[in-house]
Structure 1
Amino acid sequence: MIIIPVKEGENIDRALKKFKRKFEKTGVVKELRQRQQYDKPSAKRREQKIKAIYKQKMQNEEQNG
């Protein structure tokens, strides 16, 4: 359960913004979307490998140029 302390006289919009930020950090929506479809383990590994290659490429470009 997410608890947001609201100070006396604090704007409700600010409290709502805090709630949204905390809720986003929990990753509930992201996990829910991932569970809506099944991904084969081989497809997950392939996706991770592609991301790792991309990150490595970006780091190399940052160091070299």
Structure 2
Amino acid sequence: MLIIPVKEGENIDRALKRYKRKFNNTQAMRLLRDRKQFDKPSVVKRAQKLKASYVQKLKTQEELG
């Protein structure tokens, strides 16, 4: 549970903004979206490998030039 202490005389919009920022940092929505549908483990591994190769390619390009 997120706890947002509201200071006396603080604007409610400011407190809501802090709440939204803290909620986004917990990545709760990402977890909910991931659970919405099932992906086979082989599909997940394939996506991870593709992402890793893409990142590796970017790093090698950065080193070269």
Using the size of structure 1 for normalisation, the TM-score is: 0.89
List gaps (5 residues or longer) in structure 2: none
Give the structure 2 partner of residue 2 of structure 1: 2
Can you give the 5+ residue segments of structure 1 that lack an aligned partner in the other structure? none
2:45 is the counterpart of 1:45: yes
| Paired residue total | 65
TM-score if structure 2 supplies the norm length?
A: 0.89
Runs of 4+ aligned structure 1 residues displaced above 2 Å come to none
Aligned sequence identity (%) = 60
The aligned amino acid for 1:47 is: A
Q: What does residue range 46-65 of structure 1 map to in structure 2 within 5 Å?
A: 46-65=46-65
Matches within 5 A, 1:4-43: 4-43=4-43
